[in-house]
């Protein structure tokens, strides 16, 4: 992987991790078009995932600081409740990661058709959330956090957007859009870090040479910076878009891209 390929994939990873268009699906399509397989380069995969997490920490620093300040009081306060909700939301994806990891990896290698189908499903979910008018709630309940977590677990499918699934599910449940976007991006931090940790363990198992692949330090740095900068932009932009309720445009985009991807898979 050269620096230009790393730049392209890094930009795509950062942008699509937060925009409701599926980062895994876009990376699969982009890798196919430029002739590389990012999944085979564990070092690059870990680097862009860590860069994505860092971009979340930068954009949502005030919210993260608020949570930690409340936790150190060792009281059952709003911050503690918020943290518990995040932990609850992690349960479904944790179950998938522990018991169905091999099955998910098998699906990722099944070609572009599944990516296209999941992009179409993402479009349907986003469209439903756009036209739905549920009764609005100011706080995300534990029940809602778990249901949103189930949506996140389902989004391990390549082409099914994680942010799109969680935000759309939260909207359908009637949660406040602004608070929902922040919750969606904060709840994704532990799974991303967990995925990166699994990649590190996989790298250790296979040895340093396999883990590093064919990427140079310079190209790796370019990919990391690209993912971080684009992640910061996408995270902030997406929060504003959710507030304004403009997810229908992403539904149209996913529908078009999904149909093109399915057509190209034959």
* Tens-place pLDDT, residues 92-106: 988 887 777 667 666
CA distances from 187 to 86, 137, 191, 213 (A): 5, 19, 8, 31
pLDDT band at 210 (very low <50, low <70, confident <90, very high): very low
Give residue-wise pLDDT tens across range 44-55. Answer: 878 888 898 899
Task: Identify the bridge partners of residue 175 per DSSP, sorted by sequence position.
Answer: 137
Residue with token string 């539904």: 251
For residues 154 and 215, is the Cβ–Cβ distance under 8 A? Answer: no
**Start-to-end C-alpha separation, the chain:** 27
> What is the residue-wise DSSP string for 82-132?
HHHHHHHHHHHHHHHHHHSHHHHHHHHTS-HHHHHHHHHHHHHHHHHHHH-
Between CA 257 and CA 65 the distance in angstroms is 38
Give the number of other Cβ atoms within 10 Å of residue 196's Cβ: 19
For residues 7 and 168, is the Cβ–Cβ distance under 8 A? Answer: no
User: Torsion angle, CA of 187/190/191/194, rounded to 10 degrees?
Assistant: 180
Residue with token string 């268009």: 21
Q: Is the pLDDT of residue 36 over 60?
A: yes
User: Average pLDDT, stretch 230-253?
Assistant: 86
Between CA 120 and CA 227 the distance in angstroms is 25
pLDDT band at 109 (very low <50, low <70, confident <90, very high): low
**What are the structural domain ranges in the chain?**
3-264
User: Average pLDDT, stretch 244-266?
Assistant: 86
CA distances from 151 to 28, 118, 145, 206, 213 (A): 21, 13, 10, 32, 33
Task: Identify the bridge partners of residue 168 per DSSP, sorted by sequence position.
Answer: none
**Structure pTM?**
0.82
User: Average pLDDT, stretch 208-225?
Assistant: 73
């Amino acid at each position: 992987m050269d620096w230009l390929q790393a730049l392209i994939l890094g930009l795509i990873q950062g942008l699509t991790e937060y925009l409701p268009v599926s980062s895994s699906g876009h990376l699969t399509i982009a890798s196919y078009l430029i002739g590389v397989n990012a999944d085979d380069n564990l070092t690059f995969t870990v680097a862009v995932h860590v860069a994505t997490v860092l971009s979340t920490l930068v954009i949502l620093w005030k919210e993260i600081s608020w949570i930690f300040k409340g936790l150190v009081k060792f009281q059952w306060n709003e911050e503690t409740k918020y943290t518990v909700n995040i932990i609850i939301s992690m349960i479904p994806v944790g179950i998938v990661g522990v018991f169905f990891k091999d099955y998910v990896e098998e699906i990722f290698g099944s070609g572009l058709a599944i990516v296209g189908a999941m992009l179409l499903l993402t479009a349907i979910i986003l469209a439903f959330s756009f036209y739905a008018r549920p009764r609005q709630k100011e706080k995300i309940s534990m029940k809602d956090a778990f249901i949103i977590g189930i949506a996140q677990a389902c989004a391990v499918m390549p082409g099914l957007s994680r942010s799109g699934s969680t935000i759309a599910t939260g909207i359908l449940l009637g949660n406040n859009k602004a608070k929902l976007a922040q919750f969606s991006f904060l709840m994704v931090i532990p799974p991303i870090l967990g995925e990166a940790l699994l990649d590190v363990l996989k790298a250790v198992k296979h040895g340093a040479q396999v883990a590093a692949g064919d990427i140079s330090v310079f190209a790796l740095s370019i990919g990391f910076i690209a993912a971080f900068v684009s992640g910061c932009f996408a995270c902030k932009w997406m929060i504003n878009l959710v507030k304004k309720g403009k997810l229908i445009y992403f539904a149209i985009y996913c529908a078009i891209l999904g149909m093109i991807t399915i057509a190209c898979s034959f």
